[in-house]
Amino acid sequence: MRQQLLSRIADKSAVIGIVGLGYVGLPLMLRFAEVGYKVIGYDIDQRKVDALMNGSSYIEHISADSIQRALMDGFEATCDFARAGEADALILCVPTPLNKYREPDLSFVLNTIDSLVPYLRKGQLVSLESTTYPGTTDEELLPRIESRGLKVGQDAFLVFSPEREDPGNPNFTTRTIPKVCGGVTPACQEVGVALYGAVIDQVVPVSSTRAAEMTKLLENIHRAVNIGLVNEMKIVADKMGIDIFEVIRAAATKPFGFVPYYPGPGLGGHCIPIDPFYLTWKAREYGVNTRFIELAGEVNSGMPDWVVAKVASALNGRKKAINGSRVLVLGIAYKKNVDDMRESPSVFLMEKLRALGAEVAYSDPHVPVFPLMREHHFDLASTELSAASLASFDCVLLATDHDKFDYALIKANAKLIVDTRGKFLEPADHIVRA
């Protein structure tokens, strides 16, 4: 089985199944199709499947042209998981959010593998890419696959290879970002490395699925902790009347021993606000309290409240209350120059301001209409920026610093600007750092 699958991967006759056609799965599909593999995409959202089969893209940085090329190369999208048996490799790219108790929610992963298991067959590889706690692959996926009567490492193969997408970053592509891969057995590892090595420039093998799972958590916890540190430094600097962004720019001139991280209104995206809680939850099973990580999470989670307090203070200084004030939030994607709304701190800011009685609007060139979200509901469309529209708001809150914004126009016409990104370098009476 192993050699047959390796041969099919090598001669590109293997069929690749991508399960979950979002920000991770869609670029991976395009890469496999680009090098000549037949790819089947599986998703539970019929609207996504229909859009792809019509040659359309629902992700801003992925062009319709690239989808159409993939279709010409034989790509198919389907909601029919019964077709899982057609694939030689099934790569799972589904969400791993937190529940309302800030605990791991593996329902998407488990529901997906449970939907696939009845159709698994000998000679297949299953790869999980969804960020999760160490042990998920061998504790949850392994027994489910073997319940089908397949012996992992002999009849079927199982690996964990964490996604490393950075939407909107033109300097890195699916092909050029090194890919970590850990297998349940050495045979699994060999097959997984062969699969990803066919489309990724550098594959980094690790000794186990648990090591691969921990690698992804370390990458994102490293960033979360450092952002937590600089967010705390921002609060201290603000109390002292010091511009933290000026301090960071100065510190970054040191050519060794310092890496600049920048504060903001909170953490966003599908990884950094969530991943630390996956490790802290699992660590309790081993009697370990991850105090350092949890403290960083506490600081970062408190940033939206701190920003709202700065908005209230700034309005108060102009003899206005939040209640009844018109507030325009600039940028509601979680990071600049993308349309990705997952865990965006801007949305939490909007909800907190609305709860305090503000009349909230937003402007985002990447998000023309506020999307349907599981937990957040606004019936809004993006406000077009003009001298008149900016002047009509009591406060303009810069939450996500897209390059497409006309910052000179904003500075010249907004009555009050609360800047959470350090975008306005020159101090002015109507600009407040937050």
In this prediction, residue 350 carries a pLDDT of 97
By percentage, how much of the chain surpasses pLDDT 70?
99
| Average pLDDT over the chain, rounded to an integer | 95
Lowest mean pLDDT among 37-51, 256-270, 379-393: 256-270
pLDDT-derived band at 290, boundaries 50, 70, 90: very high
Mean pLDDT of 58-62: 92
pLDDT at 205 over 70: yes
Q: What is the pLDDT of residues 175-198, one digit of tens each?
A: 999 999 999 999 999 999 999 999
pLDDT-derived band at 272, boundaries 50, 70, 90: low
In this prediction, residue 270 carries a pLDDT of 63
pLDDT at 354 over 90: yes
Q: What is the pLDDT of residues 11-37, one digit of tens each?
A: 999 999 999 999 999 999 999 999 999
In this prediction, residue 263 carries a pLDDT of 96
CATH topology for 2-215 is Rossmann fold (3.40.50)
Domain ranges of the chain: 2-215, 302-433
Mean pLDDT of 68-80: 97
Catalytic residue flag (residue 271): yes
pLDDT-derived band at 271, boundaries 50, 70, 90: low
Lowest mean pLDDT among 68-82, 102-116, 264-278, 376-390: 264-278
- Asked, colleague to colleague, whether 2-215 and 302-433 share their fold, the answer is yes
pLDDT at 262 over 70: yes
In this prediction, residue 140 carries a pLDDT of 97
Q: What is the 3-class SS of the chain, one letter each residue?
A: CHHHHHHHHHCCCCEEEEECCCCCHHHHHHHHHHCCCEEEEECCCHHHHHHHHCCCCCCCCCCHHHHHHHHHCCCEEECCHHHHHHCCEEEECCCCCECCCCCECCHHHHHHHHHHHHHCCCCCEEEECCCCCCCHHHHHHHHHHHCCCCCECCCEEEEECCCCCCCCCCCCCCCCCCEEEEECCHHHHHHHHHHHHCCCCCEEEECCHHHHHHHHHHHHHHHHHHHHHHHHHHHHHHHCCCCHHHHHHHHCCCCCCCCCCCCCCCCCCCCCCCHHHHHHHHHHHHCCCCHHHHHHHHHHHCHHHHHHHHHHHHHHCCCCCCCCCEEEEECCCCCCCCCCCCCCHHHHHHHHHHHCCCEEEEECCCCCECCCCCCCCCCCECCCCCHHHHHCCCEEEECCCCCCCCHHHHHHHCCCEEECCCCCCCCCCCEEEC
pLDDT at 166 over 90: no
In this prediction, residue 373 carries a pLDDT of 78
In this prediction, residue 98 carries a pLDDT of 82
Domain 302-433 falls under CATH 3.40.50.720 = yes
pLDDT-derived band at 308, boundaries 50, 70, 90: very high
In this prediction, residue 366 carries a pLDDT of 96
Q: What is the pLDDT of residues 332-342, one digit of tens each?
A: 999 999 999 88
Q: Which of 93, 181, 271, 395 is catalytic?
A: 271
